[in-house]
Amino acid sequence: MYSSETGAWSTPVVLDDGLDSWEQRWRDAQSRGEFYRVPYVMPRRVALVGDEIYFTLREDNAIIKYNWGMHCLSEIDSPSPDVYGIALMEMENGSLGFACIEDSSLYVWSRKVNSEGAAEWVQCRVIKLDKMIPVANLSDEAFVVGSGEGMGAIFVSTGVGLFTIELKSRRVKKVAEPEVYFSILPYMSFYTPDRGTLLSLARTH
């Protein structure tokens, strides 16, 4: 981790998976004929929840948690290891959220702590998409490609365009024409005209 205050990098932290190096991981996957299972970090938007950053690996959609206060890494199993398009997000209750599409339905999971103090995935929403999002043909697939932080919205890519789905209202809106979307990184800007007036008044006094 890099600190802009100190201008320095922290000491490296490594997730212990029993293998000594990247080369050993590659040889292990090669010996099984599973080149695609070499566990590299997926170029998706990470989720920031409290003091923890979550990102995904290619292998089984494994989720890696980095706690910057303790400077340590740990691995979390995915609720849907075989799905290609997923998104991590912070839920309204401050927990980690996981969204994916399976069998023409959008599934949203939340990672909650049970009564015994152990964290587990709980399915909190299922939204059927077959009548909500138009498709180019029957074989057209929809993929989750991102989420809007603080917006409660999921970005879904199909053969007819890019759509947002608001989780609470279930409202669907087309936001872009069809392209090859892998990961959407939405951003928001704010304009507060009163602030400019206050600054002008402060300068005159």
Question: What does the mean pLDDT of the chain come to?
Answer: 81
Average pLDDT over residues 72-80: 90
Decide which of 117 and 67 is more confident: 67
How far are the Cα atoms of 17, 37, 41 from residue 33, in angstroms, in the given order? 20, 9, 20
Average pLDDT over residues 41-64: 86
Q: Is residue 181 part of a domain?
A: yes
Decide which of 29 and 191 is more confident: 29
The values of phi and psi at residue 156, to 5°, are -125, 130
Q: Kindly report the pTM of this predicted structure.
A: 0.78
Q: Is residue 82 part of a domain?
A: yes
Q: Is residue 41 part of a domain?
A: no
Decide which of 34 and 83 is more confident: 83
Report the phi/psi class of residue 53: left, alpha or beta, with left for phi > 0 and alpha for psi in -120 to 50.
Answer: beta
The values of phi and psi at residue 194, to 5°, are -60, -30
| SS3 state of residue 59 | helix
Q: Is residue 161 part of a domain?
A: yes
Decide which of 198 and 89 is more confident: 89
pLDDT tens digits, one per residue of 154-163: 999 988 899 9
pLDDT tens digits, one per residue of 149-191: 778 899 999 888 999 999 989 999 999 998 888 888 877 666 6
- Give how many domains the chain has, as a whole number: 1
pLDDT at residue 59, rounded to an integer: 72
> Given a cut of 80, is residue 202 above it in pLDDT?
no
Q: Is residue 79 part of a domain?
A: yes
Q: How far apart are CA 54 and CA 134, in angstroms?
A: 32
Q: Is residue 40 part of a domain?
A: no
Give the least confident one: 16-20, 101-105, 197-201: 197-201
Q: Is residue 9 part of a domain?
A: yes
Q: How far apart are CA 73 and CA 86, in angstroms?
A: 21
Q: How far apart are CA 149 and CA 89, in angstroms?
A: 7
pLDDT at residue 200, rounded to an integer: 42
pLDDT at residue 66, rounded to an integer: 93
Residue 21 burial by CB count (10 A; 0-12/13-18/19+): exposed, middle or buried? exposed
How does residue 195 score in pLDDT terms, banded at 50, 70 and 90? low
Q: How far apart are CA 85 and CA 76, in angstroms?
A: 18
Q: Is residue 168 part of a domain?
A: yes
Starting at the earlier edge strand, list the strands of the sheet with 153-158: 143-148, 153-158, 161-166, 172-176
> Given a cut of 80, is residue 71 above it in pLDDT?
yes
Residue 90 forms beta bridges with which residues?
96
Question: Which range marks the domain in which residue 171 is found?
Answer: 2-35+46-204
Average pLDDT over residues 13-30: 70
Q: Which H/E stretch holds residue 53? A: strand 52-56
**45 near 185, Cβ under 8 Å?**
yes
> Given a cut of 70, is residue 203 above it in pLDDT?
no
